[in-house]
Chains A and B, each alone.
Chain A
Amino acid sequence: MTGVSEDGHTPLNSSERKKKKILFVDDDPDITWLSKTALERNGFEVQTFETPISALENFKPGSYDLLLLDIKMRDMDGFELYDKLRKMDNNISVCFLTAASECYGNYKQRYPWLAKECFITKPVAFERLVNTINSVLN
């Protein structure tokens, strides 16, 4: 991740750059904890929820840069959750992170405007995950 100051010349270090905020929803607590720890190490601010309902209840429009959503969850699937969150914040970016690769067809059909990289299948190399998040955010 690189950045420059407002004058456009001086490179900013990681502490000077504004941290990008990610909302991560996955029903596996190990995945949420590990992802939060690993992503925060890479300069992101991550808020995690283990149920779509709690994510919906605590969602504050305009306070997140990216949604990172699992698809197969108990109460509600990731697509449904995204639709609901998008109604509250229309400009928010999204990446789906799922082990269920067969959901890709449904994803393409539902969101034809979203890029192929926004659908990430587990397992994914951490470096690739960070690169994808950065490219989606930029």
Chain B
Amino acid sequence: MDGLQRQRLKIRERNYRPYLWLKNANMKLELLINTIVVDYAIKIVSDRTKGDAKRQIEVEERAKKKVKSTTTSNPGF
């Protein structure tokens, strides 16, 4: 390999580097979606489910209190 060919190869490799970097970055993004984002999605769904269950209990307790207060204020009820 002469000097010119070596120089051409060096330039080709240098030009190719950003392309490789981009491919690696895409791979990282794909893996990131399958790790942190999935964890976050699970957390959101779990929090929402817990929140819904808590709200349901509160609604039921309020309803019970309401029934109790209605029956005590109207003994004939």
Which residues of A does B touch, CB under 8 Å? 28, 30-31, 34-35, 37-38, 41, 72, 99-100, 121-126
Please tell me if B63 contacts chain A, counting CB pairs below 8 Å: no
Please tell me the size bucket of the interface on B.
Answer: 10 to 19
Query: Chain B at the A interface: mostly helix, strand, loop or mixed?
Result: helix
> How far is A110 from B45 in the complex, measured between Cα atoms in Å?
49
Least CB distance from A102 to B in Å reads 9
- What residues on A are CB-neighbors of B35 within 8 Å? 34, 37-38, 41
Q: Which residue of A lies closest to B32 (CB)?
A: A34
Q: Which residue of B lies closest to A40 (CB)?
A: B35
24 pairs, CB–CB < 8 Å, chain A vs chain B: A31-B27, A31-B31, A34-B35, A35-B31, A37-B35, A38-B31, A38-B35, A41-B34, A99-B20, A99-B23, A99-B27, A100-B20, A122-B23, A122-B24, A122-B26, A122-B27, A123-B23, A123-B24, A123-B29, A123-B30, A124-B27, A124-B30, A126-B31, A126-B34
Q: Are A99 and B34 in contact (CB under 8 A)?
A: no
Please tell me if B33 contacts chain A, counting CB pairs below 8 Å: yes
Q: Which residue of A lies closest to B21 (CB)?
A: A99
Q: Are A41 and B38 in contact (CB under 8 A)?
A: yes
Q: Are A125 and B24 in contact (CB under 8 A)?
A: no
